[in-house]
Amino acid sequence: MKLPLALAAVSSLVTASTFSQHAPLKPRIIVLTDITQASWEPDDMQSMVHLFASADLFEIEALIATSGWSIPPEPLGPNHIRDVIESYRSDLPNLMKRSNQTAFQKSENQQKIGYWPSPEYLESIIRNGYPERGIGSIGDGKDTDGSNFIIDLVDEVDERPIYVGVWGGANVLAQSIWDVRRTRSEAELSAFLSKLRVYAITDQDRDQGAPYTNSSQFWMRKTFPELFYISSESAWVAYGRTIRDTYWDSHYVTEIQGKGALGKKYPKWRYIAEGDSPCFAYVWPGLNDPEDPRQSSFAGKFSWELTPDNVTTTWTDSSPQTAVWSKESVTSLLPYHINDFIARMDWAAKGAGNRNPVAVLQGKGGFSPVVLKARPGDVVGLSAEGSRDEDGDSLTFDWYHDEGAGGYYGYLSLEGKETPNLSLRIPRNASRTKIHIISRVVDNGTPPLASFRRAIISVN
């Protein structure tokens, strides 16, 4: 996202010592949020605090206030986004110490992982969507500064896809697509759609219980089956309910709320906790490749199947079996995700805390999966040697199989699964599948933090 010239002029250059100049670029994300005051529906504000406490991991391209299931006293809540940014502003000097960052880039376009954006940048990307929900909210004369901004962002010369997190309703995105279809050729429309990746917290562009046909999200799924679209039906529920029922009193009240200005802004749950955080947890670097929804992630695991509307097919976790896999993915990984949040809030409050270990796989740093080739019967060695902890903490290692992610279901004998070096024999029945092995590296800091890497073994 290009910073306005007037804003860029007041920003300083980041010196080479602030954070790794070899770090990869962040994933690009757009947030569509039906945020309200905390007394009405607090989960969006909770997720916004979590997002800003993790802003060194994501290139946040737009913060768009939208409609959603609930109708608060004010239809759109950009002022609540600004309120959280002000809390972020207060904590930012402490958060920047986590990456040894001392200033801001002259242009905050194409940020690298480890870079904390300026509050001025975040304020500059706030937009409004349409203040009503439903399919009637798109069409002639329904464009907004939010829908036009999405078009501008997709049109930027940048090869990275844009992950659109739909925390509320998505009619502002639907309007963008509607305008592009109306004004451009089929090839140009196809190119536009090819850059979008949607992760939607169910279908909120309608009254609760109303027919799906009332929703612009149904229209997008039905009209553009080629659109990369994840309809999260089970993962977000597992994420929010598990925090509420299992971790709230033991972790959130004592370790999140009240820490720094962001912690003071973090409200108590009313219905569910952080129901929208899976939208950005899905693109959290390291664990999964967000281009493949079949992989286990902090935000679930998805199959290409019929959605609850019984008409459209997309990536979802609504069927009984996929729902089980998706919930297991969330609940098994959530303790690591929560510890990461707690450590970030330590930095927000004190300017000090634990940091995640640096996970190395097959001698390669970074966050991308490492791809290997093998044949049935081969013995494959995987190594996490070279992994380190910048705080000097000791490390433990473990490896596990992300079953089914690449088409292989079944037992794998993992030798050395609690050491830096793993050995496994490729089963005879694994031909023409991909076996996904996860390396998890955990430090012994307070709280213990994990980093993940994924090996994908393509079996000929």
Mean pLDDT of 66-83: 84
- Report the alpha-carbon angle 49-54-59, nearest 5: 110
pLDDT at 4 over 50: no
Residues of the chain above pLDDT 70, percent: 95
pLDDT at 450 over 80: yes
Same domain, 141 and 253: yes
Same domain, 169 and 302: yes
Average pLDDT, the chain: 95
Residue of 206, 171, 175 lying closest to 69 (CA atoms):
206
In this prediction, residue 72 carries a pLDDT of: 63
Mean pLDDT of 420-426: 99
Same domain, 321 and 173: yes
Mean pLDDT of 410-437: 98
pLDDT at 110 over 50: yes
Q: Which of 349, 370, 386 is the last residue of a domain?
A: 349
Report residue 22's pLDDT band, with 50, 70 and 90 as the boundaries: confident
CATH of the domain at 422: 2.60.40.10
More confident residue, 289 or 5: 289
In this prediction, residue 18 carries a pLDDT of: 40
Same domain, 289 and 364: no
Same domain, 364 and 447: yes
Q: Which of 349, 372, 406 is the last residue of a domain?
A: 349
* pLDDT, tens only, 184-219: 999 999 999 999 999 999 999 998 889 999 999 999
Same domain, 151 and 70: yes
* pLDDT, tens only, 166-190: 999 999 999 999 999 999 999 999 9
Residue of 117, 133, 113 lying closest to 125 (CA atoms):
117
C-beta separation of 16 from 114 below 8 A: no
Same domain, 39 and 101: yes
Report residue 112's pLDDT band, with 50, 70 and 90 as the boundaries: very high
In this prediction, residue 40 carries a pLDDT of: 87
In this prediction, residue 71 carries a pLDDT of: 64
Instruction: Look at the block and give the residue holding tokens 């790794």.
Output: 20
Report residue 456's pLDDT band, with 50, 70 and 90 as the boundaries: very high
pLDDT at 84 over 80: yes
pTM of the model: 0.95
* pLDDT, tens only, 268-304: 999 999 999 999 999 999 999 999 999 999 999 999 9
pLDDT at 449 over 80: yes
pLDDT at 14 over 50: no
Same domain, 293 and 372: no
Range of the domain at 103: 5-349
Cα–Cα distance measured from residue 342 to residue 450, given in angstroms and rounded to the nearest whole number: 13
Residues of the chain above pLDDT 90, percent: 91
- Ramachandran sector of residue 251 (left: φ over 0; alpha: ψ -120 to 50; beta: rest): alpha
What's the one-letter identity of residue 283?
A: V
More confident residue, 64 or 4: 64
Same domain, 217 and 253: yes
In this prediction, residue 67 carries a pLDDT of: 93
* pLDDT, tens only, 115-172: 999 999 999 999 999 999 999 999 999 999 999 999 999 999 999 999 999 999 999 9
Mean pLDDT of 322-326: 98
Q: Which of 2-6, 311-315, 355-359 has the lowest mean pLDDT?
A: 2-6
Beta strands in 146-204 (DSSP E): 162-166, 196-201
Mean pLDDT of 86-108: 98
pLDDT at 454 over 50: yes
Same domain, 380 and 317: no
Per-residue CA distances from 76 to 37, 87, 128, 137 (Å) = 10, 20, 7, 14
Identify the DSSP state of 24: P
C-beta separation of 202 from 232 below 8 A: yes
Quick one: tokens of 200?
């939607």
Mean pLDDT of 424-446: 98
pLDDT at 356 over 60: yes
Residue of 230, 218, 227, 172 lying closest to 195 (CA atoms):
227
Q: Which of 349, 384, 404 is the last residue of a domain?
A: 349
In this prediction, residue 192 carries a pLDDT of: 99
Question: CB-based contacts of 27: which residues, under 8 Å, 6+ apart?
Answer: 57, 58, 59, 160, 163, 283, 285, 290
Same domain, 337 and 366: no
CATH of the domain at 146: 3.90.245.10
Cα–Cα distance measured from residue 401 to residue 399, given in angstroms and rounded to the nearest whole number: 7
Q: Which of 72-81, 232-241, 268-277, 376-385 has the lowest mean pLDDT?
A: 72-81
- Domain count within the chain: 2
In this prediction, residue 17 carries a pLDDT of: 35
Cα–Cα distance measured from residue 1 to residue 74, given in angstroms and rounded to the nearest whole number: 29
Same domain, 341 and 365: no
